[in-house]
Structure 1
């Protein structure tokens, strides 16, 4: 039977175009006709089929009857199971619950009994270990017992046996640990005896690879106390033995195979040589290696444990307190420093062999990686300390320096320069005075020259080193001069305040150092020619600071000298001429005292200060002295004849003595501004009104040049009585 196309049939019967015109009554006959046609086709198909449909229906009916019979049998079986078997099942469940409860009760009791038996077993194992004199077995048994007690079965904790067993186990463990500590203290004995002069340390090690010692160590390890004891001994070695050996004069001596004695001598400011320290450490570690380098458990030794705990700290102490000081402070010794590093490397290899260092890669020589920085720091520290020691020396140890006169032409022109250079030099020669490059003849402290020599050594060393060292030494050189500013005035303060010689020498020292600093940077750059520097080299900024330092102290001393002179004059009758008709002897004594003071300064300063500086200083003091003498007279309203005579005599002494204060007497006229004024004052004191009028010369004479009008009028009024001639003279002086 071919497939029947329903959709096509419906399209034929119901035409889409006639949807709005057809009626159901018209279409029903067509549908009925189509159904009938299909029935006929079905009969024809069944008639032609090979299957016997009637037989098939019959068999299906019989099968349905059999199935119904089976369902009835199963329903009957179900009823029988529900009535008989379910009763038996319920009874079995009740029996199972009862048996389960009985089993739980048995297991509960069994677990408690098992715990009791195990506790007894561990106690017996402990007793067996003690009888066998095995600390390890005893410790294992006690720890197993405590561990088992910490995880008891249900109900065991409620037994008195639990508390008793736990308490007893803890007591046994404490007693056992005390015995182990005692054995350790017997095997590792140390003692320290300290006095004012020395400290004696004795170490007695009874450790070896015997069964007894190994048993004690394993027991300590099982009880987790070995690390504690080894740490305690390691810290003793580091703090009380190794560090003192590194920092002090020490003697390490192995008196027997078991006894080692270390004697530490107490010497202040003492640092042992590195080779002596290494030799002592070799003896100590050799002794420790012989006694501690046996393996007692899985390639584990006490020496390795000690090294693991303190090797890093020991290396840091050794480098910081000993080896770092082997770094030289000059370039020549630095070039031969390989000898020292070789010895240190051998010692490092030795510590690896005795298994104190964990491996060969554990290096003491790591600090050498920064040798340039360390050398720079060491050199800087050395030079600064050397400079400071020089600055603390006596300033009165002197030497002569400088030239008497400035040469007309510069020496050393061996070859003719190029025309442009020659022209530039001519312009420079006209612009810059030659005195800039020469220092005048004077005396300086030897310490100033020593300091200058030291910085030249620093400069020469710096240019031979790497850029890191060179830069460090350049900065250190600048620090030397800043240190000079801080140290010398403070350390020599008392002398600089009281002794003129010290002040003059300090002034010259500052000037001399400043003079050299003007060209010091150029000399440095010449030596560094060809290098690329990332920092400027100059000392010119320090020149004025040093000059000011010298100026300040010299000026302060000049003020002190000035004050003494003024105090001498003002403490005499010269300060109270207004109320006196005649001066006492103290007036002349004060003048002579001032002259003696100036003479002493001359005796001290001549030959020390440069001639021009001495002349300026002396002229300043003499001029101040003369001004004060003039001022004393010019401010008095009435001067008696007797006092005028006294003043003339005293001031004449000054005129006679003052020129002797200079190296050339004629210098007094050139450098003392008030010198002629003093002479004119003496003339007025001893002269008549007619003489004064002659020296006035209608405002063109010497009196008019050196005296102000008010001063001269006041002086005339004080010296002479009021007469017509005086009035006429005063009228002329206006």
Structure 2
């Protein structure tokens, strides 16, 4: 197969293609090399032909390039010429900038000539200085013109003020004063503010403000007229309000002679007061007058008050309005509910006749601000309303708080009237929704009732406690109709001997106090859970008051009068007993309390009773001991003088016992009576026994005298004659028909034996000793008595030895 000829373009493309191929994998290169090994090698002729072809192509390309250059030569020449021209202009501009810089920075000419030339900078600086001077003069002129304009405006305002004052136009004059004050407070410059004329105008404005303030005082005083006549037996008050008020002529700094101010209407005056913010101060006398001279007498004497109001409601046509109050204490004119109606009339008069509610006027009720009615109602009327509600609470509602349940049920109409009255004041704007003094009072009427009941209870209880009436009443008479006493187990109490008062007496005052407690608790059952516990606490306070006052107010009586001290003991025990019954009497409790208990009060009452009983018993014990002390130890009573003293002493003891028995027996319960008297007698006989045992040498005569003296005390024994049944009941099966005095006076048997020992022979004494009948004496006591009664003999020595060996067993007292 013949080798094809390779053109220059084909060769170039093949070379370019070979160079452009990326390097592949060695296996691919090997494959390519293998493929190339199969091509035939190029000859010299082929190479020469390729070179010739390549040269021809290069020449052709050059020719084409020259052709393009020749075709665009004209445009290139124009661009070159333009660039040269542009370079020249730039050089010219740079030259001009250099010249201008030289002229600005160098005041001398650049050619070095001997003449002086002003530079551009100096020219500009001179121009700026001239401009600043001219601007300052302009500003100064403007300030002068502004100050003159400012002062001119003030002058015009003051002139307008004078014209308004001359015409009696107080409202417009007030506007002028406000405007002048605002203008003076905003001067256009500090120079104007410190100028003399400004100070003069400010002082003149202040004088005019004082003048209008004085005029407002006179106008208010000229509008409101009051008359009061109080004779003590009758009260009359009249208030009239003139709606057209003559404006007084005042001496003003710039006032023209012969000015006639004329008159002003009430609404214009109020507008002026509100605008100048002096309504509260200027109308304060009217406010005090309404509270002190009208509302207070009306509320305090509401039951005899007559109120007349004269106001047609047409302010524009009316010349005045008035309100008149007349009261005559003691002469009722109406029902209690009329109070709210009358007070409401007063506030309606204030609202419409004074504050002009409903009157429409652009000057009076500004659209931009709150109306003058609202302002006056809030700042002045609210004080009047709050004061009135406080007075109604204090002088009316608090005084008609019911004192019983029926009255509490009937309080509804008054509560409704009070709430409606307060709602009316809120509707008129005198009060806010937060002001609910009357509503809170009537809605808490049960609490007020309990407080009033407590105060009434304590006041009545105090009067009962403080009085000196100690009349008595038998407890058994009180218990006849008491079902709980008929069946003592029915009220579940543990029997306390101290409160077993059936056969005793109490004072009427203790019964009265118990009745007051029960009545109060019964009334609490009809109240709410919030109120009823207050009455329970009131009964506790009553008992606390009794415990506090009785021992203090009646201290001297209770100390010096034994019967009344014992009566006080009974009273305390009786009140304690009745308080113990209350849970059984009120099994269902009271509202708010599951159980009505006096667990802490009852022990306090019993402690107080025991304390004063102890005081009285101790006082009587001391008196008895003093009487025994007058016997001077019964020493040498065989002497007539000594015996008489000892006899007086013993008789005094007997007299005291009989007096106590007479005073205490009708008062105390048998158990308490015998117990107290027994303790006193036991102390007496112990003292006598001790005194006799202390004697060391008793003669036969003296022994008989001592026995006679001891015999005097046996007269006290009859105080216990009637105690047998009580002892038998108390001892039960242990009772053996013994003398009841032995039960209450443990030392009585010993005293009896001692009295016998003073009369017995030595043999009889030893017989009783051997029979065990002297067991109440100790061996030492018997030995001492034997030595005192009998001379020292061998018989006495043998008997003493027998005694020292101890008592034989006492003989039994017989069958029970």
TM over 0.5: yes
- 1:613 maps onto 2:648 in alignment: no
The gaps in structure 2 that reach 5 residues or longer are 1-15, 27-53, 104-117, 246-263, 310-320, 330-334, 358-363, 725-738, 805-816
Counterpart position of 2:757:
684
- Go from structure 1 to structure 2 and tell me whether the alpha carbon gap of 1:244 and 1:725 turns closer, same or farther (over 3 Å shift): farther
- 1:647 maps onto 2:736 in alignment: no
Counterpart position of 1:30:
none
- 1:671 maps onto 2:744 in alignment: yes
Counterpart position of 2:764:
694
Aligned match for 1:225, one of 247, 269, 278? 278
Instruction: Give 1:110 deviation, angstroms.
Output: 0.9
Map 1:46-57 → 2, pairs under 5 A? 53-54=72-73, 56-57=75-76
- 1:557 maps onto 2:616 in alignment: yes
Map 1:441-460 → 2, pairs under 5 A? 441-460=503-522
Instruction: Give 1:252 deviation, angstroms.
Output: 5.5
CA distance in 2, matches of 1:435, 1:91: 129
- Go from structure 1 to structure 2 and tell me whether the alpha carbon gap of 1:102 and 1:331 turns closer, same or farther (over 3 Å shift): same
Deviation per CA, 1:430-473, whole angstroms, max 9, x where unpaired? Answer: x9779899753221223333333333334333344333334444
Counterpart position of 2:171:
136
Give the match's secondary structure for 1:182: helix
Instruction: Give 1:107 deviation, angstroms.
Output: 1.0
CA distance in 2, matches of 1:38, 1:252: 141
Structure 1 or 2, whichever has the larger Rg, is 2
Give the match's secondary structure for 2:502: coil
CA distance in 2, matches of 1:77, 1:64: 20
Instruction: Give 1:694 deviation, angstroms.
Output: 0.8
Contact conserved, 1:395 with 1:505, CA < 8 A, in 2? Answer: no
Instruction: Give 1:232 deviation, angstroms.
Output: 5.8
- Go from structure 1 to structure 2 and tell me whether the alpha carbon gap of 1:276 and 1:725 turns closer, same or farther (over 3 Å shift): farther
- Go from structure 1 to structure 2 and tell me whether the alpha carbon gap of 1:37 and 1:618 turns closer, same or farther (over 3 Å shift): farther
Counterpart position of 2:556:
494
- Go from structure 1 to structure 2 and tell me whether the alpha carbon gap of 1:551 and 1:88 turns closer, same or farther (over 3 Å shift): closer
Counterpart position of 2:784:
714
- Structure 1 vs Structure 2 CA RMSD: 5.2
Contact conserved, 1:503 with 1:553, CA < 8 A, in 2? Answer: yes
Instruction: Give 1:74 deviation, angstroms.
Output: 7.6
Contact conserved, 2:271 with 2:372, CA < 8 A, in 1? Answer: no
CA distance in 2, matches of 1:9, 1:405: 146
CA distance in 1, matches of 2:80, 2:478: 157
Instruction: Give 1:359 deviation, angstroms.
Output: 7.6
Contact conserved, 1:252 with 1:260, CA < 8 A, in 2? Answer: no
Give the match's secondary structure for 1:399: strand
- Go from structure 1 to structure 2 and tell me whether the alpha carbon gap of 1:637 and 1:88 turns closer, same or farther (over 3 Å shift): closer
Contact conserved, 2:475 with 2:504, CA < 8 A, in 1? Answer: yes
Contact conserved, 1:398 with 1:445, CA < 8 A, in 2? Answer: yes
CA distance in 2, matches of 1:494, 1:712: 46
Instruction: Give 1:557 deviation, angstroms.
Output: 0.9
Instruction: Give 1:117 deviation, angstroms.
Output: 1.8
- Go from structure 1 to structure 2 and tell me whether the alpha carbon gap of 1:85 and 1:14 turns closer, same or farther (over 3 Å shift): farther
- Go from structure 1 to structure 2 and tell me whether the alpha carbon gap of 1:385 and 1:56 turns closer, same or farther (over 3 Å shift): farther
Map 1:461-472 → 2, pairs under 5 A? 461-472=523-534
More helix by share: 1
Counterpart position of 1:339:
413
Q: How many corresponding residue pairs?
A: 683
Aligned match for 2:652, one of 556, 570, 593? 593
Counterpart position of 1:300:
372
- 1:577 maps onto 2:635 in alignment: yes
- 1:628 maps onto 2:700 in alignment: no
Map 1:353-392 → 2, pairs under 5 A? 356-357=430-431, 364-370=438-444, 373-392=447-466
Instruction: Give 1:67 deviation, angstroms.
Output: 5.4
Give the match's secondary structure for 2:775: helix
Instruction: Give 1:698 deviation, angstroms.
Output: 6.1
Deviation per CA, 1:181-206, whole angstroms, max 9, x where unpaired? Answer: 233344446799999x8998967453
- Go from structure 1 to structure 2 and tell me whether the alpha carbon gap of 1:652 and 1:306 turns closer, same or farther (over 3 Å shift): same
TM-score, normalised to structure 1, is 0.76
CA distance in 1, matches of 2:234, 2:75: 124
Counterpart position of 1:100:
135
Counterpart position of 2:568:
506
Deviation per CA, 1:119-148, whole angstroms, max 9, x where unpaired? Answer: 322331232122112333333333333332
Instruction: Give 1:567 deviation, angstroms.
Output: 1.5
Map 1:105-504 → 2, pairs under 5 A? 105-154=140-189, 155-188=191-224, 204-208=239-243, 211-231=264-284, 233-234=286-287, 258=322, 275=337, 278=340, 281-282=343-344, 284-285=346-347, 288-289=350-351, 291-294=353-356, 296-298=364-366, 299-301=371-373, 302-303=376-377, 305-312=379-386, 314-316=388-390, 318-319=392-393, 322-324=396-398, 326-328=400-402, 330-349=404-423, 351=425, 356-357=430-431, 364-370=438-444, 373-394=447-468, 396-402=470-476, 440-504=502-566
- Go from structure 1 to structure 2 and tell me whether the alpha carbon gap of 1:158 and 1:695 turns closer, same or farther (over 3 Å shift): closer
The gaps in structure 1 that reach 5 residues or longer are 1-7, 19-34, 266-272, 414-424
Give the match's secondary structure for 1:704: coil
Deviation per CA, 1:523-567, whole angstroms, max 9, x where unpaired? Answer: 434457xx9x78665434544333222222112211111111111
Give the match's secondary structure for 2:187: coil
Contact conserved, 2:426 with 2:433, CA < 8 A, in 1? Answer: yes
- 1:567 maps onto 2:626 in alignment: yes
CA distance in 2, matches of 1:38, 1:516: 150
Contact conserved, 1:507 with 1:551, CA < 8 A, in 2? Answer: yes
Deviation per CA, 1:329-351, whole angstroms, max 9, x where unpaired? Answer: 54443333311212213433554
- Go from structure 1 to structure 2 and tell me whether the alpha carbon gap of 1:366 and 1:548 turns closer, same or farther (over 3 Å shift): closer
Give the match's secondary structure for 1:181: helix
Deviation per CA, 1:212-250, whole angstroms, max 9, x where unpaired? Answer: 433433333333222223356546655787567656899
Contact conserved, 1:695 with 1:702, CA < 8 A, in 2? Answer: no
- Go from structure 1 to structure 2 and tell me whether the alpha carbon gap of 1:515 and 1:359 turns closer, same or farther (over 3 Å shift): closer
Contact conserved, 2:757 with 2:765, CA < 8 A, in 1? Answer: no
Deviation per CA, 1:155-184, whole angstroms, max 9, x where unpaired? Answer: 224433222222232233223323322333
Map 1:26-65 → 2, pairs under 5 A? 53-54=72-73, 56-58=75-77, 60-61=79-80, 64=83
Counterpart position of 1:420:
none
Deviation per CA, 1:472-522, whole angstroms, max 9, x where unpaired? Answer: 444444444444433333333232222222222222222223333334324
Contact conserved, 1:249 with 1:264, CA < 8 A, in 2? Answer: no
- Go from structure 1 to structure 2 and tell me whether the alpha carbon gap of 1:519 and 1:664 turns closer, same or farther (over 3 Å shift): closer
CA distance in 2, matches of 1:458, 1:233: 48
- Go from structure 1 to structure 2 and tell me whether the alpha carbon gap of 1:16 and 1:81 turns closer, same or farther (over 3 Å shift): farther
CA distance in 2, matches of 1:44, 1:373: 129
Contact conserved, 1:209 with 1:294, CA < 8 A, in 2? Answer: no
Contact conserved, 2:475 with 2:505, CA < 8 A, in 1? Answer: yes
CA distance in 2, matches of 1:521, 1:41: 142
- Go from structure 1 to structure 2 and tell me whether the alpha carbon gap of 1:393 and 1:221 turns closer, same or farther (over 3 Å shift): same
